[in-house]
A and B are shown apart, each in its own frame.
Chain A
Amino acid sequence: MAEVEEGCELFSAGHRACGGCGPALAARLLLKATGKNVILVASTGCMEVFSTPYPETAWGVPWIHSLFENAAAVASGIEASLKRQGRSEKVVCVCGDGATFDIGVLCISGAFERGHDITYICYDNEAYMNTGIQRSAATPYGASTTTSPAGACSLGNPHPKKDMPGILAAHGAPYVATASIAYPNDFVQKVERAINTPGPCYIQVHTPCCTGWGFESGETLAMAKLAIETGLWVNYEMVNGQVQKAKKVRRKPVEEYLAKQKRFRHLFKPARRDDVIANIQAVADANAERFSIDIKPKESSE
């Protein structure tokens, strides 16, 4: 348990995240993996705001925030500087899905193409939460957000989630992984592997947001777990572009996940939208197919 204790110290209590915040837990866990010898680069967003109102920082490690969309470029500069100075700190970006999937793509693509020795962690809460739950390219199909609201002629967000891990793997990233706070040890191990792999590595960690998704704060981990159990989120690793390990599950119908969240309520009330639910089920089925996550009868869970 000593390591857990250290994690607590490095990301301290007193931060201003909502009770039950998934990203806040991810922050704690990732510091457990990195330890002290790290420099974090943050993007504007919930995690930055809830952890650093001047002068009350929650970070016990060097941390820098510049803008919403430039963390990967700032990290490139830090890495170059450390290299020149012969220093050993690991450079780790911690950025929201909006910063990662949308506005920061230019900087991320540049940093990955140039091959800087950085780890980029996207904490994915599937929308722009800091500005009031607007959609991002990470928002799942069918979710209602304040800029993709459900309405008489809208089913919510009409676009599928962007395949950011695939995009970064295609840049030649040696290690790309998805993770979930529902499996803390797995996430910690993946961060450890990423920071110890030379070159640019990417981790996308599913971090449910009770406020933005609309569920009880105590259910954050349960929601993250259901996402995996329905096949809507897949935990996998890509090493040199090849999918190596994907967590297998006995899949539940997506409805179990959708029905628990306000962002999908319009699929059930006032009238059921079986068509949309079927489309979402198809997303899960496609994931299951692509990553072979279904546990066949007799096969046991890994």
Chain B
Amino acid sequence: MALRVGCAAPPGKALENKTGAWRVFKPVFEPEKCTKCGMCAMVCPEGCVHETEEGTFEPDLDYCKGCGICVEICPKKGIRMEKEEK
């Protein structure tokens, strides 16, 4: 790939960096408890929590770093952390 003049780049490439590999713990979402408030998606620093077809939420484990912010924020305690099985 030729270098882009001025150390510039178009969007998109960060997605090639799968930060999910950093994870030690992973969030496990329990859709039964979810009231669809959307807070978990709003506050995830990775922006990797997505709405499912049912309107509940799930993390994209390719990018989830396992920080636990979603767990803390969920008003229904519908997300818990589990040790990542490697």
Residues of A within 8 A of B (CB): 1, 4-5, 7-8, 11-22, 24-25, 28, 51-52, 54-61, 181, 184, 210, 216-222
Contact = CB atoms under 8 A, between A and B. Distances in A.
Contact of A7 (B47, B62, B68): B47
Interface residues of B, number: 39
A28 B4 contact: no
A18 B23 CA distance: 11
B51 to A, nearest CB: 6
Nearest to B17: A14
Contacts of A56: 9, 13-14, 16-17
A218 B13 CA distance: 27
Contacts of A57: 9-14
B31 interface: no
B47 A217 contact: no
Given A4-B42, A56-B17, A57-B11, 15 more contacts: A12-B47, A13-B46, A13-B63, A16-B17, A19-B45, A25-B43, A54-B7, A55-B1, A59-B11, A61-B11, A184-B42, A210-B67, A217-B65, A217-B68, A219-B72
Contacts of A12: 11-12, 14-15, 47
Interface string B35-78: 00010011111111011000000001011011111011100000
Contacts of B71: 218
Contacts of B44: 25
Given A13-B60, A14-B15, A14-B17, A216 B68 contact: yes
A13 B67 contact: no
B69 A220 contact: yes
B33 interface: no
A250 to B, nearest CB: 20
21 contacts: A1-B38, A4-B38, A12-B15, A13-B14, A13-B19, A13-B46, A13-B47, A15-B14, A22-B45, A24-B45, A25-B43, A28-B45, A51-B14, A52-B9, A56-B17, A58-B14, A59-B11, A61-B11, A216-B68, A217-B69, A218-B81
A17 B72 contact: no
Given A4-B41, A21-B45, A57-B9, A14 B69 contact: no
B67 to A, nearest CB: 4
Nearest to A8: B47
Contact of A14 (B10, B16, B23, B41): B16
Contacts of B18: 14
Contact of B69 (A7, A8, A17, A221): A221
